Amino acid sequence: MVVVQSYTVAIIMCFVTMLCWGSWGNTQKLASKEWRFQLFYWDYSIGVLLLALILAFTMGSIGTDGRSFLEDLGQADTSNLWSAFLGGVVFNLSNILLVVAIDIAGLAVAFPVGVGLALVLGVITNYIGSPVGNPTFLFLGVACVVIAIIVNAVAYRKLSGTSEKTVSKGLLIAIIAGVLMGFFYRFVAASMSEISAHLEPGKLSPYTAVVIFSIGVFLSNFIWNTIMMAKPLVGQPVKYADYFKQGNMKLHAIGILGGVIWGLGMAFNIIASGPAGFAISYGLGQGATMIAAFWGVFIWKEFKNAPAGTNKLLSLMFISFIIGLGLIIAARLV
């Protein structure tokens, strides 16, 4: 399998993760113009699984390091398989709630609040599980991200035409999604061997872990998304028949593309966790909050009707995120 051992390459891969995780939401925004997010999400989960399988049978099965995907899957302990699977189940619930928050509050708010909170919790839990990096720099970086989250929430409340009830609902759902998302990565990390080139017996390679995780995402969709279809937090109930009646090749392709984009980010992040450490790898990947906020502010114009002074808050948010990400990167270098 292909193994990354350079910290520089790992950082580049984490930046790719950041771009992927911060950009896949655009596909949901595009699809939501024609059909409900619950229907989009079925294709999204298929895309995540397809990308994981493609990487497992290519990058995960060539080279002389580690084990090939099928060999690794055959020797894996059941407990590690369940750990990676549970990570997918937890992530899926959090991500569905995040998509609901995007539907209510927009990319510029749902991502910084939800995923920003996930970054904070994820860095803490993953550092406890695998303490790699300078804790002072790491947690100062996290503190900057917290400031960015708070500033973003204040900016959102200034939007004209947004009721207090809608503001509170959007923020609350984003917060719940963020708390859940902060813990899924630890389940996946716990299933893996930390030294990718010399895999521990019973542990999973990064490629196998991502496949099992993706199966957890896809299968749990029959529970979480079915509930969301029958009892949606926004709008009327959705029927399974709508997926076939309302969908077309373009809409299905947009959803699958969204899953492929997110899945590529997940795979690169897990692969990069070897030289970078789980806390740093996850923390950098969740810098996606800044990318998503950029899309929401500058492309989708979600703050175009905001009152005077809001732009200063948004600038402070971006500056805080950038400083925070820089400190997280430096945590492995000092």
pLDDT of residue 191: 96
pLDDT of residue 51: 97
Report the Cα–Cα distance between both ends of the chain, in Å, rounded: 30
Give the pLDDT confidence of 125-170 residue by residue, as tens digits.
889 988 989 999 999 998 998 888 788 777 876 765 556 666 678 8
Note whether residue 1 is domain-resident.
no
Residue 244 tokens, joined: 């076939």
**In a 3-state reduction of DSSP, which class is residue 66?**
coil
Note whether residue 2 is domain-resident.
no
Note whether residue 208 is domain-resident.
yes
Note whether residue 296 is domain-resident.
yes
Contacts of 84 (CB under 8 A, 6+ apart): 187, 188, 191, 192, 204, 208, 209, 212, 213, 216
pLDDT of residue 187: 95
pLDDT of residue 209: 97
pLDDT of residue 165: 66
pLDDT of residue 164: 61
Note whether residue 322 is domain-resident.
yes
pLDDT of residue 304: 81
Give the pLDDT confidence of 15-27 residue by residue, as tens digits.
999 999 889 888 9
| DSSP secondary structure string for all residues of 20-56 | HHHHTHHHHHHHTTTS-HHHHHHHHHHHHHHHHHHHH
Range of 218's domain?
7-330
Is the distance from CB of 220 to CB of 62 less than 8 angstroms? no
Q: How many Cβ atoms sit within 10 Å of the Cβ of residue 280?
A: 31
Mean pLDDT by 10 residues, the chain (334 residues): 91 93 87 87 96 97 91 97 98 90 73 80 89 92 85 73 67 89 93 82 96 98 95 89 92 96 96 89 82 82 81 90 88 84
| Domain count across the chain | 1
pLDDT of residue 240: 94
Query: Which whole-number Å values give the CA distances from 294 to 38, 73, 290, in the listed order?
Result: 25, 39, 6
Q: 103 phi and psi, to 5 degrees?
A: -60, -40
pLDDT of residue 115: 78
Question: What is the rounded distance in angstroms from the CA atom of residue 272 to the CA atom of residue 276?
Answer: 6
